[in-house]
Chain A
Amino acid sequence: MDQSQGGVVFERVTKRYGAVTAVDDVSFTVQQGHLVTLLGPSGCGKTTTLRMVAGLEPVSAGRVLIGGNDVTLCAANERDVSMVFQSYALFPHMTVLENASYGPLSMGTDKAKARDLAREKLAMLGLAEFENRLPSELSGGQQQRVAVARSLVLEPAVLLFDEPLSNLDAKLRRRVREEIRELQQSLKLTVLYVTHDQEEALAVSDHIIVMNGGRIAQEGAPEDLYERPVSRFLADFIGDANLVDGELAPEADGASFAAGGVALPVRAHGVAAGPATLAIRPQRLTLGEPGHGVPGTVKRVAYLGSRVEYVVASAWGELLIFDADVHRLRRRDEAVGVSFLPDAAIVLPQ
């Protein structure tokens, strides 16, 4: 609990709009100095959650704590948080410097001091030369930095990002997300970050909270979520996965999973025998000669240079396979056997 003192505690929070429940009994903690991502498909309640932390939406039930203080009833302008908006929300009639010094001036800081604070953060983000420009005179990436600088000026206890990369092109996106992560680590910022892009979430986060239908589906470190999804939805949502429905049966030295008349050994990890789903990452499947593992036929081949992607029609349905062995190229309609190590597959209860 000690570490969460400077962070955010979200305690059994619910948000209803009339009959619709957008966020349903959600609890989580953002530890000080960590970057936590709210990840989920659109409509899952992640932005609503972020806005409730900011104070832009009142909560229907539950408590919000920031830096150990209960701020549930505080307005946005009374909370020690700042937000970087998806649209950046730069004031179009103010220069970069005026935008950046807006926060301290709202707090009643005198003008000269407010400018100094603003200049310091603008310089940190490499924007010193742009301070007299209007937002409309900046590129998308520069506008994004101004938005970050503006929210950093108040040195808030928590910094909120609402899909900050969605208005940037693909190349820039990668660079900016690295910059954000670097900034966060060097300044030891506490950040709550919303995105729908799982790759972005895996790349920047200390901790990821996956939301679905207004609830938390799973949370954990990036590698936990990737390697150990707890449900069909999660296996499918983060990264690519082959999902096979079948029957789990106990064996003497473990368990076996049977579907389409083919049974292979797996690790059950406590899942009860009976109907189950098997999730396997495409790069964990191995193509071999017919007679090994699940029999099938190559349907489609895509050569990508670093790997080859195969779609195989098999007794377990269509399987997606990434093969790193680009020299042993298989042809369409070639008969193959698909196998995997027992540890590579995740058994999910149905």
Chain B
Amino acid sequence: MSTALAAPPVFVPAMRDRATTWVAAGALAALAVLPWGLEGGASALVRAVRGEVAHGVLVALAIVTLVCAWRGAARATAIGAGLAVVWAFAAAFAAGAKGTSFGIGAAVSLIALVACFARAIARRGAFKGDPAVATIVVVVAALLAIFIFFPVGSVLSAAMFDEDGSFAPGLAASRLFAADIWEVKCLTGGVHCGVAMNSAVLATLVGFVSTFVGLVLALVVQRGGQRYVAITKVMSILPIVTPPFVIALALVVLFGRTGIVTTLLNDWFDIPRSRWLYGLPGVALAQLLTFSPIAFLLLHGALAAISPALEEAAQTLRASRWRIFRTVTLPLLKPALANAFLLGFVESLADFGNPIVLAGNFDVLSTKIFFAIAGAQHDPGRAAALAVVLLGLTLVAFWLQQRWIGKLSYVTVTGKGDSGLHALLPPWLRRSCLAFAVVWFVFTLACYAIILTGGLVKDIGRGDMTLTLFHLSQGFAIDTSSRATMFVGSAWDSLFTTLEVAAISAPLTAIVGLLSAYVITRHRFGGRRAFEFLTMVSFAIPGTVIGVSYIVAFNVAPLELTGGMAILVLCFVFRNMPVGVRAGIAALAQIDRTLDEASSTLRASTTRTLTRVVLPLLKPAILATLVFSFTHAMTAVSAVIFLATAKYNLATVYIINRVEAGEYPLAIAYSSVLIVIMLAILLTVQALVGEARLGRRATPMLAGGG
């Protein structure tokens, strides 16, 4: 009887809309007072007075908007504000590279004008007349358009144009279908395959094997007859706190030409040292260790969700344990297995950190894109073409996921809690899984042990295990001898920048993500599905593609952001936003809608409902999003490696640079510092709010990370 989504009621236009008037006034104030351009200088009003026509028109339109808002003329307000925004962008893009870049004044006034526009169209009946919803949807959509769709579109078009900027479909075709991207000679005995083929082969391999590993570990924990709480806990935390190249570093230390294991094998069994690690085997191994925990968590959840009653029913029908596993458990896991495979596939495609350390001559798309931009052959067109290929592969994977998994899903959890016990695995299977799990776990722990100790010994890469603080002090020395404390270590700058960027971007991510989740779940308006899709899109775009697209799109006026800190913050906010949206949607699904309605019938406005009822109940989701986006901002590499500069360097980029220079001990020391910081943050927050949701909620959203 009550429908799935109650529409917010129709808004009754009061004669004057004070809030819209205030927002319009704010826009005008920003135009009058704040410096318009990036380099500071005059405000738009001052520029207009000086006789700059473009700014004159903009200020005039803003005044018109304010007057119309004050007089309550919604249609005129919408037209005025809309024209002002369009004009500002049109004029700025027409001026092109020679024009002024948008600065603080432009940002504030344009957002305010967009909000004015949204409120005004709400008063005309759009978004069921709810101005708060209209503002959230329109402003978020506008920001997504600027910071996701515009840059990605720029990359697509960059692949289509030659160096002089003229349209070159022939060149685009030759770039997109170049032999070194697609050739398959390695299959027929040749030396190299195309880079896209390499990536696809690697991703398929990693997808399959990580799903297998995840399944084995999940079976041990869920159907092994023992409680392995520790495993689950460690597995749920590791992916969050591990920068994506850390495993690769540990593998180099273990299996590199002078690695610990290599040396032992050489000494004891005369097995010659080799470079087998550098290439497909090494990258695949590193990615497996990095991504298997994600497959594990996914399958662990799926196994737990299978109703025990089904397995008990099979038992009462005289099925053996093996038969139960084969005919009930495994078939019900199919959707989760498919999901785990695709997640592993996408993670591997997007991964940058492991290949940059280990790939050697085995080129993959993400590193190839990076070298096309940063390498000697600086060729943005080629980088763009490779980015298009990478994006295409990823989108195909996600499309398959949607198409296929959507139809595969079995609902095994009903509203009523089924009590009962899951069936155990047959003993032989349980023992083999356990043995595999132990080996895997020891291997994983060895990697982390290497990282955590490697920074404290002289040269772990060559087996020199003399304890020393040299590497730590190289990076993190503090000079207290003079009066002022000096952070003289070479890593301090990047660590401070990283913490600052993470601390700024985390709350912004939470706000944008949760507000979007709120309007998506709680309000019904035209285009709601499309809006939900928009907020999720950046989830499917590999970091490398975002990185390239940001430097292609935000290199020139009017949106000139490269080289600053703002671009790092923006990159994190819009890349991590889907996590906030998902966490918010999941949390809101558990908060009964009638609470909102009760608040509304008790005369509360949408804003009051949001602040007094919804937000307090969302606290766990807010914290989870904050922690996730903070740690993710600290571990990300693939996008920001294009955006970090000497002035605003980030920890991960700094470490990658040390690796490239061969300074492994410093890189390892820094990695361990990062892991310790993030563990400290995570455990503190978990202790504060109870561990309830943090781990599980955050992990399935790691896709596209790195």
Chain A contacts to B: CB under 8 angstroms? 17, 22, 42-48, 51, 54-58, 73-79, 81-83, 85-87, 89-93, 102-103, 106-107, 150-151, 154, 160
Contacts and interface: CB of A to CB of B under 8 A. Distances in A.
Given A17-B3, A47-B2, A58-B9, A76 B600 contact: yes
Contact of B602 (A46, A48, A57, A103): A103
Contacts of B418: none
B9 A74 contact: yes
B12 A48 contact: no
B598 A55 contact: no
Given A75-B10, A76-B9, A154 B1 contact: no
A48 B10 contact: no
B90 interface: no
A227 B597 CA distance: 38
A89 B596 CA distance: 8
Interface in B569-609: 592, 594-595, 597-605, 608
12 contacts: A45-B1, A51-B2, A55-B601, A57-B6, A58-B7, A58-B128, A75-B12, A83-B597, A85-B594, A89-B594, A91-B595, A154-B603
A94 to B, nearest CB: 8
Contacts of A48: 1-3
A250 to B, nearest CB: 44
A92 B617 contact: yes
A73 B1 contact: no
B18 to A, nearest CB: 15
A87 B592 contact: yes
Contacts of A44: 1
A91 to B, nearest CB: 6
B601 A83 contact: yes
Interface string B598-638: 11111111001000110011000000000000000000000
B449 to A, nearest CB: 44
Given A75-B8, A92-B617, A47 B1 contact: yes
B11 interface: yes
Contacts of A103: 602-603
A103 B222 CA distance: 48
B611 to A, nearest CB: 11
Contact of A89 (B128, B597, B616): B597
A201 B506 CA distance: 54
B488 to A, nearest CB: 49
Interface centre among B9, B128, B605, B617 (most CB of A within 10 A): B9
A83 B9 contact: no
A75 B597 contact: no
A73 B12 contact: yes
B594 A87 contact: yes
A150 B7 contact: no
Nearest to A55: B9
B517 to A, nearest CB: 19
A148 to B, nearest CB: 12
A75 B601 CA distance: 9
A225 B612 CA distance: 45
Contacts of B6: 51, 56-57
Interface in B1-43: 1-3, 6-12
A46 B598 CA distance: 18
Contacts of A54: 597, 601
Contacts of B605: 77, 106
A56 B1 contact: no
A92 B614 CA distance: 11
A74 B604 contact: no
Nearest to B1: A47
A220 B395 CA distance: 62
Nearest to A194: B1
Interface string B148-169: 0000000000000000000000
Nearest to A156: B601
3 residue pairs, one from A and one from B, having the closest CB atoms: A89-B598, A89-B594, A75-B9
A296 to B, nearest CB: 40
B354 to A, nearest CB: 44
Nearest to B601: A83
Nearest to A108: B603
A111 B613 CA distance: 18
A53 B129 CA distance: 18
B314 to A, nearest CB: 35
A57 B597 CA distance: 10
A106 B603 contact: yes
Contacts of B129: 75
A206 to B, nearest CB: 23
A56 B592 contact: no
A106 B9 contact: no
B595 A73 contact: no
Nearest to A45: B1
Given A89-B594, A89-B595, A92-B617, A102 B9 contact: no
Nearest to B3: A17
Contacts of B602: 77, 82, 102-103, 106, 150-151, 154
Contact of B597 (A46, A58, A76, A151): A76
A86 B6 CA distance: 15
B601 A57 contact: no
Given A43-B1, A106-B604, A106-B608, A83 B11 contact: no
A106 B616 CA distance: 16
A89 B10 contact: no
B600 A77 contact: yes
A93 B597 contact: no
A93 B612 CA distance: 10
Contacts of B601: 54-56, 76-77, 79, 81-83, 151, 160
A22 B597 CA distance: 20
Interface in B88-104: none
Contacts of B8: 75
Contacts of B598: 83, 85, 89-91, 150
A51 B601 CA distance: 10
Nearest to A79: B601
Given A82-B601, A91-B598, 6 more contacts: A43-B1, A57-B6, A76-B597, A83-B598, A106-B608, A151-B601
A57 B10 CA distance: 9
A85 B594 CA distance: 7
Nearest to B604: A106
A74 B11 CA distance: 6
A106 B605 CA distance: 8
Nearest to A196: B1
A307 to B, nearest CB: 35
A107 B600 CA distance: 11
Nearest to B11: A75
Contacts of B3: 17, 22, 48, 57
B9 A56 contact: yes
A47 B613 CA distance: 24
A113 B684 CA distance: 41
Contacts of A87: 592, 594
A164 to B, nearest CB: 13
A80 B594 CA distance: 18
Contacts of A89: 592, 594-595, 597-598
Contacts of B2: 47-48, 51
A194 to B, nearest CB: 9
A89 B609 CA distance: 13
Given A56-B9, A56-B597, A107 B603 contact: yes
B650 to A, nearest CB: 38
A42 B600 CA distance: 25
Given A48-B2, A82-B601, A91 B613 contact: yes
A43 B604 CA distance: 29
Contacts of B603: 77-78, 103, 106-107, 154
Contacts of B604: 77, 102, 106
A42 B595 CA distance: 22
